[in-house]
Amino acid sequence: MKKIAIIALALFVQNAFAQVNRFVYQVTMKSDAANKNDIKTENAYLDISQEKSLFYSENRVKRDSIMQKTFQSGGAIAFNRDQMEGLRTSINYSVEKDKKDQKTYFKDRLGRDMYSYEEDRPLNWKISPETTKIGDYKVQKAETDFAGRKWTAWFTTDLPYQDGPYKFSGLPGLIVKVEDSQGDYSFDLMKNYKIAELANLSQRGNIIKVKRKDFLKQQEKYRTDPMSFMTQGGGGGGGFAQTVVVGGAGRGGGGGNRNPADMKKRMEERVKDEAKKNSNPIELQ
**Consecutive sets of 10 residues in the chain, 285 residues long: mean pLDDT of each?**
46 56 98 92 97 93 69 60 66 95 95 94 98 97 98 96 97 98 98 93 86 95 82 49 45 52 78 78 95
Residue 238 resides in a domain? yes
Residue 165 resides in a domain? no
What's the confidence (pLDDT) of residue 11? 44
What's the confidence (pLDDT) of residue 185? 98
Residue 179 resides in a domain? no
User: Number of folded domains in the chain?
Assistant: 1
Q: Which domain holds residue 220?
A: 18-121+184-277
CB 29 within 8 A of CB 282: yes
Please choose, from the candidates 191, 178, 169, 176, the residue with its C-alpha nearest in 3D space to the C-alpha of residue 138: 176
Q: At what angle do helices 212-224 and 260-277 cross, to 10 degrees?
A: 120
Residue 146 resides in a domain? no
**Strand stretches in the chain, DSSP E:** 20-29, 40-48, 52-57, 94-98, 103-110, 113-118, 126-134, 137-146, 149-156, 174-180, 185-195, 207-209, 243-244
CB 104 within 8 A of CB 95: yes
Residue 5 resides in a domain? no
Phi and psi of 86, rounded to 5°? -70, -15
CB 217 within 8 A of CB 238: yes
Residue 69 resides in a domain? yes
Quick one: residue 135, left, alpha or beta (phi over 0 = left, psi -120 to 50 = alpha)?
left
Residue 156 resides in a domain? no
CB 157 within 8 A of CB 172: yes
What's the confidence (pLDDT) of residue 131? 98
Three-class SS of residue 149? strand
